[in-house]
Structure 1
Amino acid sequence: MAQDIHYDISGYVRDAKTKTGLPGVMIQVSPGGDGTTTDTKGYYNLSVTPSDSAEITFSFVGYSTVKKVIAIKGDLRLDVPLSEEAAEIKEVIVEGKRFKTVSDGADISNIEIPIDQIKDVPTLMGEKDVLKTIQLMPGVQKGSEGTAGLYVRGGGPGENLFLLDNATVYNPYHLFGFFSSFNGDALKSVELTKGGFPAKYGGRLSSVVDMEIRNGNNEKIHAEGGVGLIASRLTVEGPIKKGKSSFIISGRRTYLDALMYPLLPSDNKGGYFFYDLNWKFNFDINPKNRIYLSGYFGRDKFWARFKDGESDSRAWLRWGNAASTLAWDHIYNEKINSQTSLIYSNYVFDINIDEKYGTDNYKLRYISNVKDISLKHEFNISASSSHTLKIGLISTLHTFKPEAVTYRETGFNDVKVDNKIQAVETSVYLQDTFKPIPRLTINAGVRLSGYITANKSYVFPEPRISAGYKITDNIAIKGGFAIMNQYIYQVTSGGIGLPLDLWVPTTDNIKPAQSKQIALGLAKDIPGKNMVCSIEGYYKKTNRSVGFKEGATFLLSEDIVEKNESSWKKNLTQGQGWSYGLEFLLHKRAGKFSGWIGYTLSWSQLQFDSVNFGKKFYARYDRRHDISLVGMYKLSDKVHLSATWVYGTGNAITIPNAEYGGIEHNPGSNGSIGGRSLTDYGIKNEYRMRAYHRLDIGIKFIKKFPSGRERTWDLSIYNAYSRRNPYFYFMSSENGMNVIKQVSLFPIIPSITYNFKF
């Protein structure tokens, strides 16, 4: 009977110097063999049987292994500091797992991306980019420069949920889609979920990108930064009260505007810049309570002025996000802990045009905005080391301004449209992870989501289940099924990466979108090499997805200019989609050589009643084959090499099949008065662009000083063999015949960045 008694050991595993929690630390008990890993905050809970001398091992790559021999007579709180492994010790081999194993657990279609690898991947202009790295993963469309958004398993860019410390970031891009808004220096973890969604996630159809800002060093001041060709960045962290509280502030700004301005003629000026700021203030009140305040603020601005005689034109376009989270972590006892969060998010884009010609004046101001205030509370209950529960509630007040338009023109009446829509989105969820038998792990849950407006309300149950069965100690077969509902939508009238998007809510005539996805695959860990391998197949059916009607736009529509009323509702249409495919990933996550091979074979089709005569058509970002080869090699402590090669089937596009021209004749005159031509476009997206492929290479020269200071020269070449990839096609007339011509965006582009740490 004594063996039926269990006690709980719990606590935090932290870095001995910085006191920050370490995620993914392996914790093993002997005798008994039970084990677990720390969560993203470094917290663990372990259920063990009584013992006079149990040995508990804490291991983590890059840190010395710690072993504790203790007597287990009751529940116990055990906080453990881990020290970094000294570089000069060569005879000691530390066996640990820095990242979660893929064969353990029930999660499927989930990828953890090491921050160190994100920083090593060569990118455009030397700016290390979280989302561009995610685009190199299987199942995520990448390619065309200038096109913003992730296209995950056939879904559109508005079907992805970007979370930064639980706060939603709506448009996570700078420079018209070339760079993401997230500074890798400030991030602790990045995780991509493409399917098999746990019940804690909701509100989007295709993926979740969950990012966490790291805690600052609470022992000493530390700084790092970089100076590049187009931008510079700086991160500063340190203690507020040594050992108890910390801060981290990370900022970045471009200086393209300052470099370009002197080169432009005095009558024609313009510029562009972006900046962003991340911060986190962390307070350990006592062993059971922690409070943190974190946030992000970023802006982009493009402006231009043209003067010519009596003409004076000015225009600017700006957009940006603000997001912040105030969170309280509380430990009730060894089995139960919770987090309560107050979350704020605000996205706005703003267009302003002012034209003068003599006494005539024309002004346009267009603003679109979505603002959220959320309250979230989540309980984590460790019933045992093989049985955990997650219970949560999140409620969000959405305030939308899809269109706020002011239009003035000399000789015409002013037009002003400023509509505001409020809605409440609430979800409750229950998630249970358990092991009914030793080799089988199941994550079963349900999310009940609701959406309430002034005139309409919706409630949908969202069942979720995923499971993993270990065929051997390192190989598992996994499967998952999830239903997701989405109540707010991103619709765009262009595909060139400009943020000409509306975030619009579910309305009386626009119903919530829904996706049902099933995935099945094999996952394998390769012990001792920090390497994982997975192959997955998936099928996803989407209902009531939202887009603009063919030829529709939201700028200067007749309804706005002539009727003084909003038009976006009339220009939207809903349809359905089908996506299915096969994904392969071989990922080495640490070591002298690291990187991954990713391959996707996929199909994505759409159908809208008001598009393509109601017939199915391939989505623009349907790609039959997609390949990514990414490698990083540490030639020595002073020289690191990296390279990326990508290949993708060309995007689907619509090209005219034929053009018919004629002459209209007026019988009351002696000749023709004009001509009229008709264009036959045929089936939508019937043609393909040329295949996309590109090679990027990089090299780092690192020097470490005895004082602990470090400097790095980072050289990279984007599109190393200067492939002329298609950006868009257009029709041109040559010798009386129409021909198709291609426009390419980026040739070979070298860059250099100076990085420093102290």
Structure 2
Amino acid sequence: MTISKKKVPYISLKIIHINIMLCQFFCCSLLYGQSYTISGYITEAGSGESLIGAAIYDSLSGRGCYSNEYGYYSLSLPAGEVLLRAQYAAHEPFRKAYHLVADTSLDIALALHTLDIVEITDDVQHDLRSNGIGRIRISLPQLNAVPALLGEKDVLKALALTPGVSTGIEGTSGLLVRGGSPDQNLLLLDGATVYNAAHLFGFVSIFNSEALKHVELYKGDFPARFGGRLSSVVDIRMKEGNNQKRQGKASIGLLSSKLLLEGPIQKGRTSYMVSARASYLGIFLLPTYISYKRGKTTNFLNYWLYDVNAKMNHTFKDKSRLFISAYTGHDAWQAREGNRQLESRFNLNWGNTTTSLRYYRSMGTKWFMESMLTFSRYHYGLGTLEQGEIANGGSSLKIDNHSELESRIKDWTGKWALDYHPTHGHHFKMGLEATAHRYDPAIGTSNVSSRPVSPNEAIFSREYAAYLEDNIRLTPWWSIYAGGRATVFEVEDTIYSSLEPRFSMSWGTAGNWAIKAAYSQMQQYLHLLSNHGVGLPNDIWVPATAKVAPQQARQWSLGFSKNISAWHTELTIDAYYKRMAKLIDYRPGTDFLSVFDQSWQDIVEKNGKGEVYGLEVMLHKKQGRLNGWLAYTLSWNRRKFARINGGHWYAAKYDRRHEFSFTASYQLTEKWRLASTWVYSSGQPVTLPIGIQQDLNGQEVFIYAGRNNMRMPAYHRLDVGAEYHFTTSNGRKAQLSLGVYNLYNRKNPFYLDIERASKVIYGPPVQELNTPERQMVLKSLFPFLPSITYSWTF
């Protein structure tokens, strides 16, 4: 809905209010007998880290719950005898029996298993009904066990091996979730938005696995507390820091080195964590630079990257906590060409900065409050410089030309949330959010022209949101979730508003099977303009404006989950259908680099439609010496614009019919762990010319038949890895990691190029044009790549 700024829209929450009253009525009708509430925090013994998603369960009544993102739980139980149990993966279970006669505060510390090769089993089974449809929560040890490119452990690459999730071209880290584009994923690092998750042109993500403790992906069942994106939410939490003892970890690999430091400032109360990573590609390229400066070569390349994570937290006497966390990372690429007389330079750089200030406290045994302030910044810039002298007859002509183009986005966000646990099986949550955005889409300057390269000016906007969530178990078999999110977006002289209902239900038994269904409606107030080329992260973030409406999506999901106890395995089958509206894309033959003297709003196609549907299957083994998962996705993904492809539906850029992955990790001995990954996906669509002709000036012009009219070859590869754990002579724990990326040296498609037949062909011809002088050639990127990483603790 769009209205003038003078008319403030009225958003009715009547539907949500009715739902809340109905849920409270059902809840009250189900109450029986006297009950009391046990609440507290579940942490890891020895480090004090809060455990997210730990299960706490009363064996006598059959009631249980899970800890939230701060390790807090609230469990209402009948008065009398209680046999309480708590469990978390790779930790020793907790058991306690006592007589419950009043509300009780109980903090629980779970110790790590002492032997890694012991199979982890316990009587407390995972409640399939509590895990929303399309929600993926894989432990970091499992994610880190996945063999990675050049040994760089990457949580986003590991998530891309799960059903419904993939990456684009080989090596890139932008996630594609259920047919969406990279901008349709909300990436949160300690609650702060991350706009670009790419290092090294996308081959490595910015998330340093050494600094992380929890990763969770939402792609079907979206809680109302999340909004602003159409396809997924990736909620990532950093480590809090060991509040019992100081410790560190360092690693050296082929691409980068890492360092982690953590420890108490005040034991048991205040702790810190600092993690840093830096590449040394510039050192490897140093001989080329020396040769260039000496005039022996005419070109030179240099690249470097770094990132830093830091976090500090303090626990007050009333058990409330204050967190301060920050991230900053930067990539820079420089190319030089020429000699001492005339030199050309090209610079490309991008990076993210985030900061979070969070405070939470429990108020009694049923209430929990959280407040947060965050700052996010993403910048992208490129520049060219040409300096020197050239001969001009009998004199010399000085050359000094330079151009710069920069894009930035900044956010300041405030959040407040309140949780209420009125009784067992009933959880109510509400919250408010406000964000101030500043967009600098593409500001450019040049001394070659007297006017700015780009006419795009800074755009300021404000975004407000309020949400309600009500999660209630109506019967031992049936639970429902109902919520809604109301948003208002102010930009220029335009106001957009939206009411986004969220609903899900689950029917089944606690530890055996469950049938689930969900509906979500989302609205996204920003767009991402990306070149359709490969490699360079030309990401220009732009907001919805008076000319460009916000994106919209509706998604229906239906799923089935089954625990196979004999194998310690969970089977999940999900089907989904999603419709998208108000999409944008560049007009054919345009992008912001080729027509940078125009406003971005004038070179995009608007009001596009999208349709995605598919089936996802996952078999996940979480326990034992052998663990991992099998994932398969069958999907269709298409788009429609009025002036693209003749107004007809066409396959979306990342439409892939079949995707399959197999990931396994096996604890061979106490010291050796083996891992392997095999992936396969159908070829993605690509727009290829069907012929060549000459124009009136004699220039060759390609002839196209439509958007994404053909497909690249299928993609598949096998990665293997091995880890050797040992103790050094000075008593420090160490690890040697060996790996091979693309074991059988598959030439997977990176991009296609058109070359003359007389040129050397580096890959097999894919398609020949209607001329003997041209040939379509497949270009590959990563061959057989071994890696080695050495890490140790201190």
Q: Same fold (TM over 0.5)?
A: yes
Matches within 5 A, 1:447-486: 447-470=485-508, 473-486=511-524
> TM-score normalised to the size of structure 2?
0.89
| Separation of aligned partners in 1, 2:670 and 2:373 | 44
Quote the residue 1:667 is aligned against.
none
Selected match of 1:404 from 430, 433, 443: 443
Report the 3-state secondary structure (helix = DSSP H, G, I; strand = E; otherwise coil) of the residue aligned with 2:698: strand
Q: Which residue of 2 aligns with 1:56?
A: 84
Per the alignment, do residues 676 and 367 of structure 1 end up closer, same or farther by CA in structure 2, a change over 3 Å counting? closer
Which of 441, 464, 471 matches 1:426?
A: 464
Q: In the alignment, which residue of structure 1 is the partner of 2:322?
A: 291
Q: Which amino acid aligns with 1:332?
A: M
Please state how far the C-alpha of 1:701 moved relative to its aligned partner: 1.3
Q: 2:192 matched to 1:167?
A: yes
1:748 maps to a residue whose letter is: F
- Residue 710 of structure 1: aligned partner: 733
State the SS of the aligned residue for 1:104. helix
Cα distance, 1:58 vs. partner? 2.1
* Counterpart in the other structure of 2:484: 446
Pair 1:415–1:639, CA change in 2 (3 A): closer
TM superposition shift of 1:335: 0.5
Question: What do residues 310-362 of structure 1 show as CA deviations (whole Å, max 9, x unaligned)?
Answer: 31212211100000110001111111011100000000011121112422322
The answer to which of 325-334 and 465-474 deviates more is 465-474
Aligned to 1:692: 715
Alpha-carbon distance in structure 2 between the residues aligned to 1:3 and 1:156 = 49
Aligned identity (percent) is: 36
- 1:372 and 2:442 are equivalent in the alignment: no
Q: Which residue of 2 aligns with 1:660?
A: 693
The CA distance in 1 between the partners of 2:31 and 2:650, in whole Å, is: 65
Q: Within 5 A, what are the aligned runs for 1:138-217?
A: 138-142=163-167, 144-217=169-242
Q: Which residue pairs with 1:683 in the alignment?
A: 706
Equivalent residue in structure 2 for 1:540, among 578, 588, 598: 578
Match of 2:122 among 95, 101, 126: 95
Three-state SS of the structure 1 residue aligned to 2:326 is: strand
- Looking at structure 2, the residues matched to 170 and 44 of structure 1 have their Cα atoms a distance apart, in angstroms, of 32
Does the 8 Å CA contact 1:18/1:216 hold for their aligned counterparts?
A: yes
Query: Could you tell me how far apart the structure 1 residues matched to 2:225 and 2:452 are?
Result: 48
For residues 628 and 420 of structure 1, what CA distance do their matches in structure 2 show?
43
Contact kept in structure 2, 1:105 and 1:467, CA below 8 Å: no
Q: TM-score, length-normalised on structure 1?
A: 0.94
Residue 587 of structure 1 and its aligned partner are, at CA, apart by: 1.0
- 1:131 partner SS: helix
Is the 8 Å Cα contact of residues 173 and 205 (structure 2) preserved in structure 1? no
* Cα offset, 1:307, TM superposition: 2.9
User: CA offset at residue 556 of structure 1?
Assistant: 5.4
For the Cα contact (< 8 Å) 2:47–2:243, is it kept in 1?
yes
Which amino acid counterpart does residue 256 of structure 1 have in structure 2? L
Corresponding residue for 2:50? Answer: 21
Distance (whole Å) between structure 2 residues aligned to residue 390 and residue 593 of structure 1: 38
Tell which deviates more after alignment, 515-524 or 283-292.
283-292
- 1:112 maps to 137
User: Which amino acid in structure 2 is aligned with residue 172 of structure 1?
Assistant: A
How far the C-alpha of 1:546 sits from its partner, in A, is 1.9
The separation in 1 between residues aligned to 2:693 and 2:248, in whole angstroms, is 66
- Deviates most, 527-536 or 513-522: 527-536
* Aligned match of 1:630: 663
Q: Could you tell me which residue of structure 2 aligns to residue 747 of structure 1?
A: 783
In the TM superposition, residue 95 of structure 1 has moved relative to its aligned partner by: 1.1
Tell whether the 8 Å contact from 1:305 to 1:312 is kept in structure 2 after alignment. Answer: yes
**How far off its partner does 1:294 sit?**
0.9
Separation in 1 of the partners of 2:46 and 2:402?
A: 58
Note the alpha carbon deviations across 1:100-150, whole angstroms, 9 max, x for none: 936222611000021101211111111001111111111012362244411
- Post-superposition offset of 1:493: 1.5
1:324 aligns with: 355
The one-letter code of the counterpart of 1:33 is G
Q: Give the Å deviation of 1:471.
A: 5.6
Question: Is 2:105 aligned against 1:73?
Answer: no
How far off is 1:501 after superposition?
1.3
8 A Cα contact 2:492 2:545, kept in partner = no
CA distance 1:49–1:686, shift in 2 (3 Å): same
Alignment-derived partner of residue 684 in structure 2: 651
Residue among 287, 292, 301 paired with 1:266: 292
Within the candidate set 28, 31, 44, 2:60 is matched to: 31
Q: Give the whole-Å Cα distance in 2 for the aligned partners of 1:533 and 1:42.
A: 27
Instruction: Write out the 4+ residue segments of structure 1 that deviate beyond 6 Å after TM superposition.
Output: none
Q: CA deviation at 1:69?
A: 2.5
Match of 1:756 in 2: 792
- Native 8 Å contact 1:344 1:374 kept in 2: yes
Does the alignment pair 1:250 with 2:289?
Answer: no
Q: Distance in 2 between matches of 1:407 and 1:356?
A: 14
- Aligned residue in 2 for 1:340: 371
| 1:529 CA drift (Å) | 4.9
| 1:668 counterpart residue number | none
- Letter matched to residue 784 of structure 2: I
Residue type matched to 1:617 in 2?
Y
1:280: which partner in 2? 311
Question: Partner residue of 1:569?
Answer: 601
Is the Cα contact below 8 Å between 1:106 and 1:442 reproduced in 2? no
Q: Distance in 1 between matches of 2:85 and 2:463?
A: 44
After TM superposition, the structure 1 stretch with the greater mean CA deviation from structure 2, 644-653 or 679-688, is 679-688
Secondary structure of the residue that 2:602 maps to in structure 1?
coil
CA contact (8 A) 1:475 1:524 kept: yes
Aligned pair partner of 2:538 in 482, 500, 516: 500
> 2:645 corresponds to which residue?
612
> Is 1:600 aligned to residue 633 of structure 2?
yes
Mapped to 2, the partners of 1:472 and 1:334 lie a distance apart of 25
Cα distance in 1 for residues equivalent to 2:470 and 2:364: 19
Contact 1:698 1:715 in 2 (8 A): yes
**Cα offset, 1:482, TM superposition:** 0.2
Q: State the shift of 1:581 in Å.
A: 0.5
CA distance in structure 1 between the partners assigned to 2:349 and 2:492 by the alignment = 31
Q: Which amino acid aligns with 1:305?
A: R
